Structure 1
C-alpha cells in the first residue's frame, strides 16, 4: 500500500523480477518456459472440462436470476416489487449478472456459464501466481513445476459441481486467485489495494480474506503512514460505499440470508459434522498429510536460504505463503462455527483453495515429486470412485448432494430452467401459480392452497424459492417462510434442530395477516391471525415493515441507515399471541 501506482510504470518490482520466469538461453530454456506455461494452464483446462460436463443451475442460483430480472424491469435490486429485501449474498455477482442481462442474454445461461468462466480464470490465475511466487529455493523460480494442490481441487466432485451452479462460487475462486497473484506480483500498486478490498462484495464472509491479505500487503511493502492510509482508503471505498447504500436502502447490515441463517451464531457440533461430511468420503486427510510432510521437509532446507536470521526481510518473504494459509483456516473456522451449510462441501471450497494456493504448483524436486505422486494417485482414486453415500439425495444430517438432487428432480443431466419433471409437487405448484396469474384475481397461495383476496396479483408461498421466483410474475410476490427473501420470516425465531440453512419457518397465520387476505384458510386459528395483525402494527415489527416497504424518501433512508444495527438484531416469537404480548404490551 503506497500513495502512487507509478512504481510499475517503468521499473518492475525487484522481488517480482527475481521470482519471474526470466528466459534462459537456447532450446532448453525455451522448453522449460513452455513446460511452465503448460503447468500453469493445464489445471484451468481440466476444471473447464469437468465443470462443463457437470454444468447445472441450482435453485439458489435462480434466486439471483429473479433479482436481476427485477433490476432490468426497473423495480430495483429487490426480490419482490415493493419490498426492499436483499436476497443476493454475492453483491458483485448480482451486478455482473445484471450487466449480462442488460445486453439481452438469458440471465440463467449467463449465471451458469459465467460461473464456469470465472472458475477457469481463477485456476489460471492461481497457476500464474504459483509460477511467479518467490520460493527461496535459490533458482529464481525458473525450474520445472508440477501440479500438487491443483490435483487436490481437481479430484473433488464438489469442485466440479460448483464450477457452475449459478452461484457466486466461481467468482469467489477467481477473486481469491487474482488477489493472491496481485499480492505476489504487484504488492506496491494501489490497484492491488482495490482488488484486495473486494472480498465483502464477493461474499460477506470473504471480508476475512481481505483483512488478512491487506495485512500481508502491508508486511511486504512496509509503507509510510500516508501510504498506508491511501491504500486503506482505496481498498475500503467501494465496500464501505455499498454498505452505506445497503443500510439505507434495505435497512440491514447484511444481506437477508445472513439474518435468516443467523450468521453470528455458534453451532460447533453441526459445523464439525459438516467438515466430516466433506473430508470423510474423499479421504482428504491423505493428500493433506502428503503435502504437509513435503512442506515440513522442504522447509528445513529452505529456511537456511531465507535472507538473514529473521526480521522484516523474512516476514516479507513468507507473507505470500502465510496469508492464504491463515485466511483459509479462518474461513474454515467460521464455516464450522456457524454450523456449516446444507450443500455438500460448498462452503469449504474457498478456504480449501486458499490453503492450497502456496502449493498449487510445486517445483520438481525429489521431495515435491514424491508428494505430487502420492497426491496424484489419491486424485485418480478420488475422482474415479470416492463419493458421498447419499449421492443424488439429501443425507440424514440434512446435507444435500445439491447437484444430484436437482438432476434427479428435473429428470435432466444439465438442468438450467427448472421444470421439475421428476418432482410432481413442484410441478403442481407451478401450474397453480400460472393458473392464478391467468385469472388476474388477487390470490394468495399458501403452498398449494389458494386463499382469496389480499395483495393484487399472485402471492406464492413456497420453500423452493428460486423455482417459485421463476414462475411467480415479477408483479406478484414469491415469499418463502424460511426468510431468504422475506424480511418478516427472516426476523422470526428459529426452529430447534431444524435443517441447516432452513431452520426458520414462519407460521401461515403471519403470512395471511401480513398480506391482507380476506379469508382465513381452513385449519388456521382466526384468533391467531388477528393477534398477528395487531402485532404487525406494534414497535419493531411496524418499523421493520416501514423500513422495507414504505416509500424511500431521504428521511426513510436516514432512519434505515441509523437503525440498521438494531433492526438486524431484532427477532420476534413465531407464536402470534406471544408476539403480540411482547411487542404490544397486551
Structure 2
C-alpha cells in the first residue's frame, strides 16, 4: 500500500492533466521522419539534432512503429507509463534503504505529489517521464548494488544512459557512479570492465553525433547556451517554483526530520553504507538545482527543477513510522491539502520573467481539455497554418515567414539551390506547430534556432525568456532560402555573402552536404570548433568578421525588407 497508493496518485493525476505542448511536437516530427526512413532529422536534407532527449525520440519511434498511432498520443501515454514506473521503483528503493519496515509513512513523496507541475510534466510529450523512470531505476539500483556489490556492470550500463535521457543528467551519472565505485571497491579488472560497459553507449553515440550532426551536443544546448551563468534569472525561476506551493514548508520540516531518520539508519548493521547511499541523491539533487539556477532556469514553470526536487526527497519518500514521523506526516498532510485546494501557480506573463504555465496555455490555445494529438494543435486557427494550406494548394514555390507572432506573414519565392524537390518552406516562432503544419518533405524553418544551425550559432540578442534568446533576423532566412532576384537590401546582401564565407559556409556544409565517409570525418574532427562557433546576429557584422572582402553595394530594390 505504501508503494501502490502514491504510484496510483501520480498515474491518476498525470492522466487528468494529460497533454502535449509545442516542444513535445518537435519530438513527434523527428519521430515521423525516422519512421518515414529519413533519419533522425527535422527536415529532409538537413542533419540537425533537435531532440534534447536522444533516447526519448527513439523510444517513441519504437512504440509508434507497431501501433501506427499518432506519435503525439504515443508520447503522452508512454511518458505517463514511464513516470509512474519511476515512482514505483523510487518507492521500492527507499523502502529497501530503510530495511523494509512493517510500517512506513509517505513523507517525502507526499511533498512532491501535490505539486501541480508534477502532474503537468508526467506527460507533456517531453522526455520528463523517461527522466523520472531513469531516476527511479538508478536509485533502486544504487540501494541494492551499493549494499551487495552485485551486477555492477549492468548498473554501469544503466547509469551510462543518463546523458542520453537528458544531457544534464550526466551530473547524476557521474556522482552516482563515483559513490557506487567507492562503496563496491571492485578490483581494477572488474572496475575497468564496468567503466567500459557504462561508457559504451554514450561514447558511441557521441561519435555518431559528432560525425552525423557535426557538433558535440544536441543543437538546443547551443541555442540555449547551456554553459551560461545567469544567476538573477535563475533565482527568479527557482522562486517561481518554490513560492506558489510554499515548498519551503515541507522541505524545512523534512530537513529537520532527517536527523532522527539518519540516526536510525546508522544503527543498522551496514549503517555507514546506508547513510552514504541516502546522502547521494540529496547532494546530487542540490547540485542539479544549483546548475539549473546558474544557467538561468527555463520558461516552463517548474519543469527543470522537478528532477532536482525528486532527487532531494528520494531517501525520505517513505520513512519508518514513529511518533516523530507520524507528527511530521500530519503537518505535511495539512500542507498538501492547502496545495491541492488553493496553492496553484498563476498563469501569467508579466513581461519580466516570461515563465509560463504551459499546460494551461495549451489547453486554452487549443480549446481542448486534453490536447494530446497533433490534430488538436493543427486545428488551431493560427494565421500561419491557414496560409500554409492556402499557399500549398496554389502550388507555388514559396517561403512563408511569420512575423509578430501570427499577426502578419510574408511570402517570397523559394530558391531551388538547396532542396530542388521542396516546393515550400515556412518559418514560425512555434517550431512544433510549424512541424505539424508543414509536411515532412517540405522545410520547417526555425525562428529560434532549435532546428536551425545558423540560428543556433548566432550570438544572443534577447535575455528575457529562457531558450528564446536567439531570434534569427529575417534577412538571414531570405538570403538562405530565396533567389537573389527575389528581394534585396543591405542586410540581405550581407547575409547572402556571409553564407558563402569561412566557418559559416562550412557550418552549412556540415549539415547539408551529402554524408560521405569524408564528410563524416570532417564533421567528427571539426565538431569541437563548430560547437564553439558563434556568429554575429547582424548580417553586416557577420560579413565583416567572416568574409575577406565585402559584397558589392546593395541595390535599391527591396531595401524596405525588414531586418
Q: Which residue of 1 aligns with 2:247?
A: 284
State the 1:434 CA deviation.
1.6
**Residue-pair matches, total:** 532
Query: For residues 46-68 of structure 1, what are the alpha-carbon distances to aligned partners after superposition, in whole Å with 9 as ceiling and x for unaligned?
Result: 11101111110111000000001
Indicate conservation of the 8 Å contact 2:414/2:423, yes or no. no
Equivalent position of 1:23 in the other structure? none
Q: Is the 8 A contact 1:219 1:319 kept in 2?
A: no
Answering whether residue 173 of structure 2 is matched by residue 210 of structure 1, we say: yes
TM-score (norm 2): 0.92
Mapped pair 1:387 → 2:344:
yes
Matches within 5 A, 1:292-441: 292-300=255-263, 302-303=265-266, 305=267, 315-390=272-347, 396-416=352-372, 417=374, 419=376, 424=381, 427-441=382-396
Distance in 2 separating the partners of 1:552 and 1:422: 37
CA distance in 2, matches of 1:204, 1:241: 15
Give the match for residue 575 of structure 1.
538
- Is 1:168 aligned to residue 124 of structure 2? no
Q: CA deviation at 1:437?
A: 2.2
Whole-angstrom CA distance in 2 between matches of 1:460 and 1:482: 13
The Cα RMSD (Å) is 1.7
When structure 1 is superposed on structure 2, of 394-403 and 141-150 the one drifting more is 394-403
Matches within 5 A, 1:124-203: 124-133=88-97, 135=98, 140-187=99-146, 188-189=150-151, 190-203=153-166
Note the C-alpha offset of 1:423.
6.2
For the residue of structure 1 that corresponds to 2:400, the secondary structure is strand
Give, in angstroms, the shift of residue 419 of structure 1. 4.6
Output the CA distance in 1 between the equivalents of 2:351 and 2:162: 31
Deviation per residue, 1:501-523 (Å, 9 max, x gap): 101111111111111345555xx
3-state secondary structure, aligned to 1:557: helix
* Kept after mapping to 2: 8 A contact 1:274/1:341: yes
Are 1:250 and 2:206 matched, yes or no? no
Q: Give deviations 1:531-572, integer Å, cap 9, x for gaps.
A: 111111111101100101000011110111111111011011
1:407 and 1:414 in contact (8 A); partners too:
yes
Match of 1:457 in 2: 423
Provide the C-alpha distance between the structure 2 equivalents of 1:570 and 1:334, rounded to a whole number of angstroms: 23
| Cα displacement (A) at 1:326 | 1.5
Name stretches of at least 5 consecutive residues in structure 1 with no aligned partner: 1-37, 308-312
Give the stretch that moved more between structures: 187-196 or 48-57. 187-196
User: Corresponding residue for 1:488?
Assistant: 454
| 8 Å Cα contact 1:265-1:337 kept in structure 2 | yes
Displacement, 1:421?
8.9
- Report the secondary structure of 1:563's partner residue: helix
TM-score, structure 1 normalization: 0.88
1-structure distance, mates of 2:494, 2:261: 68
| More displaced stretch, 79-88 vs 576-585 | 576-585
Distance 1:395 1:535 in 2: 34
Structure 1, residues 411-463: CA drift from partner, whole Å, max 9, x if none? 11111225559965xx2110111222223321100112111232432111011
The unaligned stretches of length 5 or more in structure 2 are 403-408, 417-421, 550-563
Structure 1 Cα separation of the partners of residues 377 and 30 of structure 2: 21
* Aligned pairs for 1:506-517 within 5 A: 506-517=472-483
Q: What do residues 349-408 of structure 1 show as CA deviations (whole Å, max 9, x unaligned)?
A: 1111111110011111112212222111101111211012336x6774111100011111
Q: CA 1:510–1:458 in 2, change beyond 3 Å: closer, same or farther? A: same
Runs of 4+ in 1 over 6 A off after TM superposition: none
Q: CA shift at 1:469, angstroms?
A: 0.2
Residues of 1 paired with 2:376 and 2:141: CA distance? 43
CA contact (8 A) 1:418 1:467 kept: no
Residue number among 427, 435, 443 corresponding to 2:398 in the alignment: 443
